[in-house]
Structure 1
């Protein structure tokens, strides 16, 4: 496995275990979002070479052959690391030259993405050899005349970006305790001081879905119980009545689990039909026993696995 594939595989494992709550500089915290598109097409690679008459750096092309762009560590403010698809690289680079963002005297750049209110660039002249660092960055304002070198090629840049959770790691070394008043302000307004959200690590969580008595009643309700711990009874996290649509119920469960900002190693979901049916029209009895109630148990390796493949209702329900 090559370096790019190994780094992305490690990130995927982290996401699948639900470890997506991140913290960056200036107390930027939250549940990060990720997107990994399909590999780049041969047509896009051919279009790129035809447009710029130059091959891509090998590490960058290796990444595109795994994913044609990616969204990494995106918080609610939209900031994070965005790597464009190759088609968008072509479009953005052409537009940047037309709009003057790529200065005519500094026109040896491709625009390949964005990070922290700035553009991510590849220096095309440096990219002609693997021995010269070609990754650059600049603020959205201004032109490429002001581009700053990151001093890395794409593979190391990607790995360091993942370690830094989508932050501009190359600026960390520039912090000076003498020049930068990072933590202390004179008489800071109290409303500007935001305490961090509590993060709780939970080995496992148990979601129990009890089906209603009647299938025919249009306003029947599921009952959902969510417990912490392997035994499922240590502490009741929430209990509420779901709506008459199973999909809506599961969305509510998903939102409830993600909204608490917990880290779950394992999520177990148990669905059980009621042992009784209402069936007055067929039998005249107000209540009869369901002799073979359906049951289903599912296990998910972390919150992300649960969110990516939500459970379906038992047969006959909706």
Structure 2
């Protein structure tokens, strides 16, 4: 088996590649079997919205005054929202918000320049911090926040959207950002 590694990968290219790889594994109903912790195998459904138009993206920017990171714009131009890793019977999964949903889900508890781009199966949110992005931090602007907690308790994911999405697909929908804190002792205590 050989692995191909590109040099000089451009920000935004990973989004399309990751989604194409995922879609190639889906059946005609948008379902794939995934394996999660402790060997649990289940079907997961994927639904992708039609692309956003450049005028929709422009309208979002004008209405909010926010910057959309380049890699996240790449996603929106492919799909203006998506539902990933949804169990066909039990729901859950990851809801990547459309531009209209992002407008609807603007909350005062978020700092200026921050907005929600995803709701997760565990009731948490993925948040873009445009302040970090504007400061030149193009590869580390995402936060993970439990819906019940103030923003001060948010976890800095230290990655951008395309890296988060690529790893989410590789981890088959699991919250991989918690893995470094899940040692052998804590893993078994959580069960």
Asked whether the two chains share a fold, i.e. TM above 0.5, the reply is yes
* Bigger share in strand: 1
CA 1:23–1:50 in structure 2 vs 1: closer, same or farther (change >3 Å)? same
Deviation at 1:43, TM superposition (A): 3.1
Q: Aligned to 1:40, what secondary structure does the other structure show?
A: coil
Match in the other structure for 2:173: 166
- Distance in structure 1 (CA, Å) of the matches to 2:31 and 2:63: 40
Query: Please, which runs of 5 or more residues in structure 2 have no aligned partner?
Result: 1-11
Aligned length: 176
Q: Does residue 20 of structure 2 align to residue 9 of structure 1?
A: yes
CA 1:118–1:26 in structure 2 vs 1: closer, same or farther (change >3 Å)? farther
CA 1:45–1:131 in structure 2 vs 1: closer, same or farther (change >3 Å)? closer
Match in the other structure for 1:70: 82
- Distance in structure 2 (CA, Å) of the matches to 1:138 and 1:183: 20
Deviation at 1:26, TM superposition (A): 6.0
Q: Does residue 105 of structure 2 align to residue 85 of structure 1?
A: no
Contact 1:80 1:167 (8 Å CA) reproduced: no
Greater gyration radius: 1
Q: Aligned to 2:92, what secondary structure does the other structure show?
A: coil
Contact 1:136 1:148 (8 Å CA) reproduced: yes
Q: Note the 1:194-233 alignment, pairs <5 A.
A: none
CA 1:53–1:32 in structure 2 vs 1: closer, same or farther (change >3 Å)? same
Larger relative contact order (CA 8 Å, sep ≥ 6): 2
CA 1:30–1:177 in structure 2 vs 1: closer, same or farther (change >3 Å)? same
Match in the other structure for 1:120: 126
Deviation at 1:3, TM superposition (A): 1.9
* Bigger share in helix: 2
Query: Please, which runs of 5 or more residues in structure 1 have no aligned partner?
Result: 185-318
Match in the other structure for 1:111: 116
Question: Structure 1 residue aligned with 2:44, among 24, 32, 35?
Answer: 32
Root-mean-square deviation (CA, aligned residues, Å) is: 2.3
